C-alpha cells in the first residue's frame, strides 16, 4: 500500500517526569522537536493528546496522537482514535524507539514483527493488525545489563549531544514518508556512534 494513505501518526512514549528524556520516549521526543507541532496546543481525547495538522513541509493533512497512558497500553489510544476517524492500520504511522537499530540510525518500514516492543505489541493486538507503518529511531541494544533498564534510562552525555541531529534526520524522514518520497523499507545512517 502506498504511503499516501498515512492519516494517523502515533508518537510513542511514557507519561510523567520520570520518563521524560528517556530512550523509550523517542516518539515523544520527535513530536516535541518536529516543526508541525511548534506552538500548537494539543487537545485531549482517546486517552491521548492529539492534533489535526497540515504539514508545513509536505502539505499533507493528518492526525497526530501521543498516547498519555503507559507504553504497554498504547493500543487503547490508537484503536480509539482509529475507530473515531475511521482509519485502518494501513493508514497509520507509528513512531517509536528501536533497540535493534544502533543509536545514530533511523528506519522506515511497513508491517513486520514487534521485536519485543510492548507498545507495538499492544497496538497490534488492539487493532488486530501488524500492517501499520513504523518510523524507527535507533537507541541501540545495551552492551550489558537488562534491556528494560536501558530503554527506560536516559541518554548518556554523548547521545544527548547528538540527539538534535538524530531528531532532525528523523523529522525529515517523517516528512518524506508523509509526502510519499519514501514508500519502501529503508534504514538511514545519520552518524556512526
pLDDT in tens, the chain (193 residues): 444 589 999 999 999 999 999 999 999 999 999 999 988 999 999 999 999 999 888 888 999 999 999 999 999 999 999 999 999 999 999 999 999 999 999 999 999 888 789 999 999 999 999 999 999 999 999 988 899 999 999 999 999 999 999 999 999 999 999 988 887 888 888 877 6
Count of Cβ atoms closer than 10 Å to residue 166 Cβ: 25
Rounded-to-integer distance, Cα 84 and Cα 43, Å: 15
Question: Is 47 a known active-site residue?
Answer: no
- Domains of the chain from N-terminus onward: 3-189 (3.40.50.1470)
97 phi and psi, to 5 degrees?
-75, 155
Count of Cβ atoms closer than 10 Å to residue 98 Cβ: 23
Please pick, among 24, 34, 96, 117, the residue that the annotation labels catalytic: 24
**What sign has the CA pseudo-torsion 88, 90, 91, 95?**
positive
Amino acid at each position: 500500500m502506498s504511503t499516501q494513505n498515512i492519516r494517523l501518526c502515533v508518537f510513542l512514549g511514557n507519561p510523567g517526569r520520570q520518563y521524560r528524556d528517556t530512550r523509550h520516549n523517542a516518539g515523544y521526543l520527535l513530536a516535541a522537536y518536529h516543526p508541525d507541532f511548534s506552538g500548537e496546543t494539543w487537545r485531549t481525547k482517546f486517552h491521548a493528546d492529539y492534533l489535526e495538522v497540515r504539514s508545513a513541509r509536505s502539505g499533507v493533512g493528518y492526525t497526530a496522537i501521543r498516547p498519555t497512558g503507559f507504553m504497554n497500553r498504547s493500543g487503547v489510544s490508537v484503536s480509539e482514535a482509529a475507530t473515531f476517524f475511521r482509519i485502518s492500520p494501513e493508514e497509520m504511522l507509528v513512531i517509536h524507539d528501536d533497540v535493534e537499530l544502533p543509536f545514530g540510525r533511523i528506519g522506515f518500514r511497513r508491517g513486520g514483527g514487534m521485536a519485543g516492543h510492548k507498545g507495538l505489541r499492544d497496538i497490534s493486538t488492539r487493532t488486530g493488525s501488524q500492517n501499520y507503518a513504523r518510523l524507527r529511531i535507533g537507541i541501540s541494544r545495551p552492551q550489558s545489563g537488562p534491556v528494560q533498564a536501558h530503554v527506560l534510562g536516559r541518554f548518556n552525555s554523548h547521545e544527548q549531544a547528538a540527539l538534535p541531529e538524530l531528531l532532525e534526520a528523523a523529522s525529515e524522514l517523517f516528512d518524506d514518508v508523509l509526502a510519499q518520497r519514501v514508500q519502501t523499507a529503508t534504514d538511514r545512517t545519520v552518524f556512526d556512534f
